[in-house]
Amino acid sequence: MGEMEAHCRLAAMYYVGHVLEKDRVKHLHHLEEAAIGGHPTARYNLGCHEWNNDNEERAVTHYIIAATQGNDDSIKALMGAFKGGFVQKDELAAALRAHKGAVDATKSPQREVAEEYHRKWSSDD
């Protein structure tokens, strides 16, 4: 209960109809729960949903929030929205700075060692 990754995965399952029957209402419910709980991919996916439903302003808001949480796809979406005239230059610049800050905050020497270890063992298969 309250696990954001679980909400995000349930949203995906309801969206594609994998294991669970397709259900748009339940898909959006779980996506919103995950996004509210701080799940960046769910927030990005809400942006995509809004964009596809011609709610560009809401989509951009979701993309900006996801970017500040370190979501790479949201940066790509914001770049496209900028080219289309839906995002101002200063908004894009602020989102890029916040994204970099979020990504940098996840870096550590221990994480780099763990990633190298994983790469080494993954490539030995």
Q: How far apart are CA 12 and CA 116, in angstroms?
A: 30
Question: What is the percentage of the chain residues whose pLDDT exceeds 90?
Answer: 78
Full residue range of the structural domain in which residue 46 is found: 38-123
Residue 60 in domain: yes
Of 7, 67, 9, nearest in space to 59 by CA: 67
Higher pLDDT, 8 or 118: 8
pLDDT at 112 over 90: no
Question: How far apart are alpha carbons 11 and 6 in whole angstroms?
Answer: 8
Domain assignment present for residue 95? The answer is yes
Phi, psi angles (nearest 5°) of residue 70: 95, 15
CA neighbor of 35 nearest in space, from 67, 62, 73, 75 = 62
**92: pLDDT strictly greater than 90:** yes
Q: How many domains does the chain have?
A: 1
pTM of the model: 0.82
User: Is residue 106 one of the residues assigned to a domain?
Assistant: yes
Within a domain: residue 25? no
